[in-house]
Amino acid sequence: MVETNAAESNAVPPPLAGLSLLVVDDHADSADSLAILLKLWGHRPLVAYDFATALKTAEIEPLDAVILDLALPGKSGCEIAGDLRKLDGWKRTPLVALTGFGDRSHRTQAREAGFDFFLVKPVEPDSLRTLLDKLLRTARLSGRMVQLADRHSTAATETATLADDAREFARKLQEAASIEG
């Protein structure tokens, strides 16, 4: 788990295509305010006010990260994090705990539940933006790596085809040489 710090801020250009984020908080004003801020920064936030909506959204929407309050009625943010980690494709999706509880026990619980980052309310906007910029850079690098892997795979397939063609041509040359000789 990484704790963000405003002093870590690097000069990062604003996102060209922001992150797809799920904000989960039972306090509608907090969730909606955060979503507005995220939109202003160029991200694409979705909002859920309860665990059922959060899980349903996670099952149908591809998301780059989830910002999740720990103190939710009915099911804690730590329990939801555990549920998310069980879904296909969610093992590596960044989970950000955003909570009013900043003591060591809550940080430990969050880490053990599968959270990658821990922020304390009221969150410092620079800290949140720095974290999201790092997540965006990571998502872009990951996407670029997938593109390069696809190109490498295509090149390997083309190379194998050329090698097969060369072997066939060599075989035909040997046949022709043995017929003439």
**pLDDT the model gives residue 26:** 95
CA distances from 39 to 17, 18, 122, 139 (A): 11, 9, 18, 18
Burial pattern 100-129, b for ≥16 Cβ within 10 A else e, equals ebeeeebbebbeebbbbbbbbbebeeebbb
Which pTM does this prediction carry?
A: 0.71
pLDDT per residue as tens digits for the range 137-171 = 887 777 677 677 778 888 888 888 888 888 888 88
pLDDT per residue as tens digits for the range 10-40 = 444 444 478 999 999 999 999 999 999 999 9
Lookup: tokens for 136: 């965006």
Question: Which residues share a beta bridge with 95?
Answer: 66
Question: Which residues share a beta bridge with 47?
Answer: 23
Cα–Cα dist 106/99, whole Å: 9
Degrees to nearest 5, angle at CA 16 with 48 and 22:
10
